[in-house]
Amino acid sequence: MADSKFVTFNNGQKYPNLGLGTWQSPPDGSVYRAVKGALENGYRHLDCAYIYQNQEEIGKAITECIEAGVLKREELYVTSKIWLTFYRKDRVPICLDKILKQLQLKYMDLILLHWPMSFEQTDDSLFPKDSNDKLIDGKVDFIEAYQALESLVDQGLIKSIGISNFNVEQVERLLKVARIKPVVNQVECHPYLNQEKLRKFCADQGIILTAYSPLGNPGSTYFPDEKKKDLLNDPVIVRLAQKYKKNSGQILIRFAIDRGFIVIPKSVRLERIISNLQVYDFKLTDEDLKELMSLDQNYRTCPFSLGPHLTNYPF
């Protein structure tokens, strides 16, 4: 991959600016086939998480591709995320150990704290709820979890660490005490939620934003929303797609890349996985970007609507 396909983190580590997202990719063989197809067709960055409950299949695909000579381990960049029931400092290493075993890896390229909140610290449930069906607040501060990640960097188990879904104030509070600076903040981002204030703030601190749901989460059944907006068919995006002889998805991926983001579109369909990678033969103009930026309407497809009562809820 040419250098234009990489970003450089604040610790000097290079990272591909386009990866395969694996959220809502079911572990029924489809995520295995998606990852295998992606790696065979040039992807070198996978975005995973403990909570997605599909990492065993991803690990199988990675191992098979490495053994078949498709790529070497050091050419692959794998991100995963610590889940909210593992935020106490003695539990963070347990979650990392599970992630490494599931993915069949000896080290992680990047580990993130998945959200700034925490749940009850338990092995009984990934979404522990009380008798009123309300999520139980773990009240473990993200600083504690982050410092546990710093120790795992010291041990050589993780190359880089970062955060996800943190707002400006939370990033600020973390930076006051962080010994190892987070390299990324992974957040929902697309033209309807352009995150410009957060991008500027993080850029000033040397932190890159990773855009999840960059296509506006079209296939999601996870957050039923009667008011769901169809970003892919927005007239501005459709017009730009025609202008560049690309599809809407490719325009939206380029929107992230041209703003300096890492971007992780998810798909389990091989033709879509391949087409999502075909974005390095064009670039949006400043005018295009300006027009796309003007579509912002603070529209979130992932508001974590079960969580506003939790300590450190970010929105």
**114 annotated as belonging to a binding site for a ligand:** yes
Q: Are strands 14-16 and 6-8 parallel, antiparallel or unpaired?
A: antiparallel
* Helix ranges, 44-103 (H): 55-67, 92-103
SS3 label, residue 20: strand
Out of 32, 43, 52, 192, pick the active-site residue: 52
Contact 253, 212 (CB under 8 A): no
Give CA separation, 254 vs 34, 231, 234, 248, 292, in Å: 21, 14, 16, 10, 11
**Using an 8 Å Cβ cutoff, are 218 and 232 in contact?**
yes
Chain-centroid distance, C-alpha 46: 9
Q: How many residues does the chain have?
A: 315
Report which DSSP code applies to 180: S
Q: Based on the residue annotation, tell me whether 52 is a catalytic residue of this protein.
A: yes
Separation CA 252–CA 189 (nearest Å): 10
From the list 108, 103, 110, 106, the residue with the least C-alpha distance to 35 is: 103
The count of C-alpha atoms lying within 13 angstroms of the C-alpha of 237, restricted to the half-sphere facing its C-beta, is 23
Under 8 Å CB-to-CB from 291, ≥6 apart: which residues? 236, 240
Instruction: Specify which residues 6 forms β-bridges with.
Output: 16
- List binding-site positions: 114
- List binding-site positions for substrate: 114
Catalytically active residues, by annotation = 52
